[in-house]
Every structure is written in C-alpha cells, then in structure tokens.
Amino acid sequence: MRYGYFDDQAREYVTDRVDVPVSFTNYLGTQRMGAVVSHNAGGYCWLDSPQYHRITRFRPNGVPMDWPGHYVYLRDDADGDYWSLSWQPVGKPLDEAKYACRHGLSYSVYQCDYKGISASQTLFIPREDGGDDPVEVFDVRIKNTSDAVRRLSVYGYVEFSFHHIDMDNQNFQMSLYAAGSHYRNGAVLCELHYEENSWQFFAGDFEPDGFDGVRESFIGAYHTERDPEGVRKGALSSSTELGGNPCGALQKKLTLKPGEEARVLFYLGTGDDKAAQKTRQRYDKAGADRAFEQLRAWWDGKLGRMQVKTPHENMNRSLNIWNLYQSEINVLFSRFSSFIEVGGRTGLGYRDTAQDAMCIPHAEPEMCEKRLRQLLNGQTGMGYGLHLFDPAWFEKKAGQSFNSPTVVPTPDKAGMIHGLKDTCADDALWLVPAVIENVRESGDIGFFDQVIPFADEGEGTVWEHLKRSLDFSCRQVGAHGVTKGLRADWNDCLNLGGGESAMVAFLLVWALRHFLDAARFLGRLDDAAVYQKKMDDMIDVCRKVLWDGKWWLRGFTADGRAIGSQLAREGKVHMECNTWAVISGTATREQGLSCMNAVDEYLYTPFGLMLNAPSFTTVDDGIGFVSRVYPGVKENGAIFSHPNPWAWAAECVLGRGGRAMKFYNALLPENQNDQMEIRQAEPYSYCQFIMGKDHTAFGRARHPFMTGSSGWAYFAATRSMLGVRPEFDHLTVDPCIPAEWDGFEVKRMWRGAEYLISVRNPDHVEKGVRELRVDGRVADRVPAFDGGVHTVEAVMG
Ligand code: GLC
C-alpha cells in the first residue's frame, strides 16, 4: 500500500493519503534559519541552533504526534464550520475534505479542498542575501469553487518557544516570566526579555481583523490546536501579556465571490515590528514569488551539478533529486534537528560530519569546506577528534548571548577536551578521505597548507592535521597489532571492552591510501615513503590475524576473544569488517569474493543488509552495549542503513555490478513506495535503520532524513556504481553496473567545466572500459579541463 507518489517534474513527493502512521518529514531553510515540518504542518523552526535558539515550540514524542506546527485555519463565517489547510490539527473526516501535502526541495505545500473552498499553504524560508533577517513565509491561496458568495476567516498560528530548549522543558517558575507578547503595527511580537534584542514576530501582508499573543487566549484552557477557541468563536481576543506562553495568531476576514481567489501571506521572523515592516515590503506578493523562484533556482543549480540517466527510474529519481537533497540537509543542519533528535543537542558529531562532508563536495562546496575547517579545529594535538563538539567553542565570538538568571555554566575549554577514555577510534580517520575528496573536487591544493588551530593547543597545516590523525591510529594498536577500537569504532554499540577493531584497521588502510595518493601528487615523497611502510605493515598484520578462513573477524575483545568468527554462535558475520577489508584493498580478490559472499548469505534481506547476524541475545559487556540492544533493532542485527553502501562499493571493487545493484535495490527508499504497510517511513529518504529479521516488525524503517546513510548512498552509487570519480588531475570513469544495462549517461560539472559522459555496454559486462573517447578523440584518461563543455564516451568490455 502507498500514501503518495513522486512528481518528478515538480521534484515533489505528494502525500495524497494524509493519515500516514508516521510523520513524513521535510526541511525548510538553507542558511541560518531552519525548520523541520511534517506532512501535516507539524514541526518547529530555529535560528542557528535548534537547542539555543528555538523559535517555535514542539512537543516531542507526543500524542497526537508532532504537534504543534505552523498552521493555517479557515473558518466559514456563515455557519462557523472551520478546518485547517493541513489535515492536522483539525483533522476533518477524510471522506469530506480532500487533503494532500507536497514536499519539495526546501518548501512544503499543504492543499485542501473542502466545502467549495480550494486552498493551499506553502511554507518556505527565502534565501537572504546578507543572511541577516531570516523569515519563514506562509503563502496562502484560497479559491471559492462554489456557486455562492463566501464569507471566510483565515488564521495563521504559531506557538513561540522560550528559545533555549531547557527553558521550554523545565523550571517554569522562571521561564513563564521570561518571555512576553506585544502587538505593534499589525504584528504580534514575542520578546525574550532576558535576552538582549531578542524578538520574534508573526505578521501578515494585511491589516489584521484580530490577533492573539497569548496561547491560552487563542487555544482556550480546555481546548487544543484541534479546536482553538479563537477559531471556534470566529473572533480573537487581542491578548498580550508580559509573561505566560506567547503565541502568534492573526485573523483576516475575506469575502470571495464564486470563482474568486485570494492570496494571503504570513511571516514568521526574527526581529521586532520594524523587521516585520521590512519583511512585508521585501516579501510582498511579488517579492514572495521572486524569493520562491530564487529558492528553486538555487536547487536547480545544485542538482544540475550532476544528473544521471540510467535505465533504473528510481535510481535516477534518487540520485537526481532525493538522495542529494537528503545529503545536503545533513551537511547544512548536522544531525540535531528532527522529530527524533528534538534539538536537545547542538554541534557536530565528528565522524558523522566528516562523512557527510566527504560525500557531496560537488554540490555543496562551501558548506563542506566549512564543516572540514570546523572538524580540523575540533581535532586535538594528539590527533584524535572530539567526538561531539560545538564549533562555537573555538570561534572568537564563543559563548552564547543567552543571559539567564538560572545558572548556565560558561563552557570551559579545558573541560571540553575529552581524553582517550571517550575517544572513538574512527572519528579523525574520516577526516583524511574527507579532506582529500574535497580537494580532488575543487583542485585547491593550497588547502593542504592552510594553518588551522588544534582544539587544545597549537596549530598546524591541514597536511599536518592529517598526519596527526594517521599517526594517532598507527600508535593505538593492541596486543595483536591491530588498531584499538577505544571507546567505540564507527559502531557506537560494539565497544569490544576497548579491544581491537578490524573496522578501524581497514579504515586506517583506506585513509592511508588516500593520503599516499595526495602525497605523491604533491611530490611529498618523504611522507609517501613513511606512510607507505605504515600501510604495508598494517595490511600484513590484518591479513595474518583477522582472516578467519571464509570472512574477516570483527575484532578482538580486551581479553583477547575473537568476534565475528565462524565458530561464533551470535554475531558471526559483520558488515563493517568485511566491506572495509575489500574497500581498503586489504583483502585479496579471493578473500574479497569469499567474504562478500558471506555478507550476501548471512546478511541479505529484501529490505537491505543487516549489520550483523545472528543478532546477539546473550548479554556480554566484553563485546559491548550491542548485546543489550533488542535483537533486530539498531546496531544489533538491524538493517543499519549507513554500512549498506559500503557493500555496494565493495562489490564494485570486486567487479560484481549485478550484486551491487541487488544490494542497492534492497535499501533504496523509492523502491518501497508501494510497501508502506511494511516500511512505515517516508519513501524519499534513507532511514537510520530498518528492523532486521530477528524482530517482529522486520522491514519497518525508523529515523528518516538525518543519517549518514544518505551521503554514503550517494557517494557509493555515483563513484563506485556509476564510477565517476574526480581525482587530483583527471576524472575517472570506471562503472560497475548490472550486465543487462545497455549503458547510461551522466552530466557532471567539475572545476568549472561540464562533462557529458555516455557509457555504452554492448558486450553486457559488469565492469571494465575498453575504449574511452574525450571530445571525440581516443584517450586513456579524462583530463581536468579549465572550462567548456566536453563529451566523454566510454565503451565497456
Ligand atoms: C548513529 C551515529 C553514528 C554511528 C552509528 C552506528 O548513526 O550517529 O555516529 O556511527 O549510529 O553506531
């Protein structure tokens, strides 16, 4: 069963059956202001930080789910009947009112047809030139499709938040007196009195017929957003108060003749009534149209950096629209703003951010580079990364402006630099390929010589930072000579009691390979010699102690027990070690074929590859927290999405394009649009995990949007499967595809030039290019051109 469909022309997912059992999510905003909204207009928005500067309030994990939101109500003033333009919160019977939600790229449209009134509400946050007066626009259109003259009231409504998430959830003896509401020049204003110059406004492009600034006055003590007093009665109460719970509610009365249409704009912004006035001028009807077009054009530009045309419709849809969009949102907003991560954390997860920034530098160069700088700054002089940190700690203007009589400790730098005890062994290793992939994309080799401070003390060039992270891992080895997992490796729950991790060893080899490629290109041959030796040594150790005959061990516990061996009853085969042995080039071809066969045999399901199997059922803290997680859930035998693309990449190393596609297809969200009774999650974004075979809800996906699966899916699909990879001085075209494909096309921008790549597969092979032509001439590689449009024809065979 399905709840909606893809409208590729508009680049939208249309939910036309809105009683979805979960929220289908979207994100608004591309700069400082962001919002997460559901297909029912539930959600919240923030400025810069969802933890410290929440603009609208959210009641997480509640019933009804994902309330409140950014709502618009309509009321028929002739008979008092009222409804909302999103199905919730009023929730009119679906056989009487027709609803749909269109999630587009950084905007959402809520459509409703009811009682001869056809209306829509578009939410979006324009891109600001200076980025200094962000605003969310509610663009409302109402058409009278009946034969009678209609008298209507339209209401916009938001509930303001006390900015700081803790203020919203505790100590109301203080917070309820910290914020107040005002009404000036047609705008409802919310003021955080303890913060300097901290105002929000809710305004319209009209002279309001009524307003409320106090939540209880609009909603009523014994009502909810489903039946607010102000809408029910048809009149707002002009409430404002210094204290209480501020809200923004505005009413506009309209009379529409048959066939007549009206357009009403609401604005939710930061600043006082003067800012509201400016916003009204800037985003009047023509201005709002212009801003919306600019937003679309901005996305056109991004998506246009790479477009693919393969025989696989859902792959095209994913790579050309949704997978890239999801990856962008992760880079833009990090991970701490969703319906799952409800804003109680701020900052960057080291490994997650590094991987996000590695995967899409072609589409998001500035933001990826910004993230890398922040990460480089979050690296300690010893070489490890701060697992979770706030870049603001290291910025000159550190410290939040938030001024509260409740004691909020001032961050003390010394206390923020955690030691080895809390170090995750993989964190800073991801930095190496991430930086190098970004330079391969941009060609800016000067980046390696830029000087960036370490988190604790001192500074070094980016090159020095990379060496410190490699050196750190090379030093942190255990009794078998394999790298330690420390607090955890990529897998938060498989802690091995601090033992040795195959995943980290292979990741180190991969990072070293990237580093060696860069060192040789830059002519830093002394470094190349030193690190080549380190890599060879680590590969030797791994081959000696980690190969278990058919597949690779996952590691050793602190007391020396092998994990992931053929002898094991639980956790026999693991994804991380087997995929990375191949990707890193540690596995021989025979070992690679054998271990990836084991991945297929033990871990494959029609919904993707499970992280490990069989799931752990016996608590064993020597292995880690994973043994305390329900079987089939999250890191214990679920289909953890993030490592799935590692298997696609590994199969491409082995040249098995059919197998890579089998794995790709199993996880691809777009493939599951018709199986919503099983998936129960949006079909346009990868989810963090899907319940594994050992769980009763096998196939149910959870935690959409904010997950590293997205970047990796894009990275593996474009670079390994379609095989288009920027190198320092040329573009590799090395596809690994299903034999039945006749070929495919890719249009890719790279360093200011456009490459029109067409791949033909007349012999129906899975890998190998037997002939390459650049601009019509036979060539052995695709050079980095300075500009212009260039054709690349590759014939497989
Ligand atoms: C979560 C974390 C990520 C970790 C993964 C596996 O997605 O955000 O850092 O690698 O779980 O444990």
334, 345, 348, 352: residue to mutate for ligand 1 pocket, most atoms within 8 A of CB: 352
Quick count: other Cβ atoms within 10 Å of Cβ 479?
A: 12
Distance 490 CA to ligand 1 centre (A): 7
The whole-number pLDDT of residue 629 equals 97
Tens-digit pLDDT profile for residues 248-259: 999 999 999 999
Atom of ligand 1 nearest to the CA of 352: 9
CB-CB contact of 613 with 602 (8 Å): yes
Distance 628 CA to ligand 1 centre (A): 16
Distance 425 CA to ligand 1 centre (A): 13
Mean pLDDT, range 418-430, rounded to an integer? 96
Atom of ligand 1 nearest to the CA of 351: 9
Distance 653 CA to ligand 1 centre (A): 25
Distance 353 CA to ligand 1 centre (A): 11
What is the residue-averaged pLDDT of the chain? 96
492, 495, 688: residue to mutate for ligand 1 pocket, most atoms within 8 A of CB: 492
CB-CB contact of 396 with 437 (8 Å): no
| Separation between Cα atoms, residue 747 and residue 754, nearest integer Å | 7
Distance 355 CA to ligand 1 centre (A): 11
CB-CB contact of 552 with 546 (8 Å): yes
Mean pLDDT, range 458-474, rounded to an integer? 98
Distance 38 CA to ligand 1 centre (A): 24
Atom of ligand 1 nearest to the CA of 708: 7
Percent of the chain with pLDDT over 90: 92
Distance 96 CA to ligand 1 centre (A): 44
Atom of ligand 1 nearest to the CA of 635: 12
CA angle 635, 640, 641 (to 5 degrees): 155
Tens-digit pLDDT profile for residues 150-167: 999 999 999 999 998 888
Choosing from 492, 600, 734, 775, the catalytic residue is 492
Predicted confidence (pLDDT) at residue 13 exceeds the cutoff of 90: yes
Is 620 marked active-site? Answer: no
Tens-digit pLDDT profile for residues 329-360: 999 998 789 999 988 888 899 999 999 999 99
Predicted confidence (pLDDT) at residue 105 exceeds the cutoff of 90: yes
| Separation between Cα atoms, residue 690 and residue 464, nearest integer Å | 40
Predicted confidence (pLDDT) at residue 408 exceeds the cutoff of 60: no
Ligand 1 in reach of 352 Cβ (< 6 A): yes
Mean pLDDT, range 461-473, rounded to an integer? 98
CA angle 237, 242, 247 (to 5 degrees): 50
| Separation between Cα atoms, residue 620 and residue 161, nearest integer Å | 43
| Type and span of the H or E element at 502 | helix 502-522
Q: How confident is the model at residue 397 (pLDDT cuts 50, 70, 90)?
A: low
Residue 459's Cα: distance from chain center in Å? 31
Predicted confidence (pLDDT) at residue 405 exceeds the cutoff of 70: no
| Separation between Cα atoms, residue 595 and residue 584, nearest integer Å | 14
| Tokens at 61, concatenated | 């994990």
The whole-number pLDDT of residue 343 equals 82
Give 171-178's long-range contacts (Cβ < 8 A, gap of 24+): 171/406, 174/404, 174/405, 174/406, 176/243, 176/244, 176/245, 177/242, 177/243, 178/243, 178/404
Mean pLDDT, range 632-643, rounded to an integer? 98
Atom of ligand 1 nearest to the CA of 492: 12
CB-CB contact of 202 with 56 (8 Å): no
Mean pLDDT, range 295-300, rounded to an integer? 96
Q: Atom 10 (ligand 1): residue with closest C-alpha?
A: 490
Mean pLDDT, range 101-108, rounded to an integer? 98
Q: Atom 3 (ligand 1): residue with closest C-alpha?
A: 352
Ligand 1 in reach of 688 Cβ (< 6 A): yes
Ligand 1 in reach of 635 Cβ (< 6 A): yes
Predicted confidence (pLDDT) at residue 404 exceeds the cutoff of 70: no
Q: How confident is the model at residue 403 (pLDDT cuts 50, 70, 90)?
A: low
Predicted confidence (pLDDT) at residue 701 exceeds the cutoff of 60: yes
The whole-number pLDDT of residue 393 equals 86
CB-CB contact of 729 with 521 (8 Å): yes
Tens-digit pLDDT profile for residues 106-131: 999 999 999 999 999 999 999 987 65
| Separation between Cα atoms, residue 38 and residue 20, nearest integer Å | 10
Atom of ligand 1 nearest to the CA of 349: 9
| Separation between Cα atoms, residue 426 and residue 428, nearest integer Å | 6
Q: Atom 8 (ligand 1): residue with closest C-alpha?
A: 352
| SS3 per residue for 352-386 | HHHHHHHHCCCCCHHHHHHHHHHHHHCECCCCCEC
Mean pLDDT, range 194-206, rounded to an integer? 91
Mean pLDDT, range 91-119, rounded to an integer? 98
375, 429, 490: residue to mutate for ligand 1 pocket, most atoms within 8 A of CB: 490
Ligand 1 in reach of 349 Cβ (< 6 A): yes
Ligand 1 in reach of 491 Cβ (< 6 A): yes
Ligand 1 in reach of 490 Cβ (< 6 A): yes
The whole-number pLDDT of residue 197 equals 75
Percent of the chain with pLDDT over 70: 97
Tens-digit pLDDT profile for residues 645-665: 999 999 999 999 999 999 999
Q: Atom 9 (ligand 1): residue with closest C-alpha?
A: 352
Distance 708 CA to ligand 1 centre (A): 8
Ligand 1 in reach of 351 Cβ (< 6 A): yes
Mean pLDDT, range 389-410, rounded to an integer? 65
Q: How confident is the model at residue 576 (pLDDT cuts 50, 70, 90)?
A: very high
Ligand 1 in reach of 492 Cβ (< 6 A): yes
Distance 702 CA to ligand 1 centre (A): 14
Predicted confidence (pLDDT) at residue 414 exceeds the cutoff of 90: no
Predicted confidence (pLDDT) at residue 9 exceeds the cutoff of 50: yes
The whole-number pLDDT of residue 398 equals 46
Atom of ligand 1 nearest to the CA of 688: 7
| Separation between Cα atoms, residue 791 and residue 754, nearest integer Å | 8
Mean pLDDT, range 673-693, rounded to an integer? 98
Ligand 1 in reach of 327 Cβ (< 6 A): no
Atom of ligand 1 nearest to the CA of 490: 10
Tens-digit pLDDT profile for residues 709-766: 999 999 999 999 999 999 999 999 999 999 999 999 999 999 999 999 999 999 999 9
Distance 642 CA to ligand 1 centre (A): 8
351, 640, 642: residue to mutate for ligand 1 pocket, most atoms within 8 A of CB: 642
Tens-digit pLDDT profile for residues 358-382: 999 999 999 999 999 999 999 999 9
